[in-house]
Amino acid sequence: MKYCLVLLVAAVIAREVVGHGMMLDPPNRGSLWRFDIPGAVPNYYDTGNNCGSFGVQYSLGMKCGVCGDAWTDPRPRDNENTGKLGRGIIAKTYQAGSVIETKINITANHNGTFTYR
């Protein structure tokens, strides 16, 4: 474990600007239910994380919550750990410093972006 980085999905900050899509590998918290993971909270709007809309995001200087929640949402935001969808489920673990492949299903591209940190 010493050399392993436990990557909580929240650590991957997905910023999406108005587009529609979901992170499937590793699954974001709002999409865990699609993989029949016990304890995952169904979120039928997991393609709709858009930082609260472009207008909200733009008015805040392009701020976005973790996993596309609106920056202005009260904390913990839905996709944050202990939030509505954050049930402490670790979707995947990776070795620190490794190069990883991710899969994102873009269902409507409105010039949205994802940023990994």
Return the residue matching tokens 């202990």: 82
113 binds ligand NAG (CB under 6 A): no
Cis omega before residue 42 (within 30°)?
Answer: no
- Measured in degrees and rounded to the nearest 5, phi and psi for residue 27 equal -65, 135
Contacts by 54-62 with C-beta closer than 8 Å and gap 24+?
A: 54/17, 54/18, 57/17, 62/17
Candidate residues 39, 101, 111, 117; the one interacting with ligand NAG per rule CB under 6 A: 111
102 binds ligand NAG (CB under 6 A): no
Interface region with ligand NAG, contact rule CB under 6 A, candidates 7-15, 59-67, 87-95, 106-114: 106-114
CB of 36: closest distance to ligand NAG in angstroms?
14
Cis omega before residue 76 (within 30°)?
Answer: yes
Return the residue matching tokens 């673990």: 93
110 binds ligand NAG (CB under 6 A): yes
CB closer to ligand NAG, 18 vs 76: 18
Interface region with ligand NAG, contact rule CB under 6 A, candidates 7-15, 36-44, 78-86, 103-111: 103-111
98 binds ligand NAG (CB under 6 A): no
Contact 82, 1 (CB under 8 A): no
Query: Would you tell me which residues interact with ligand NAG (CB under 6 A)?
Result: 24, 105, 107, 110-111
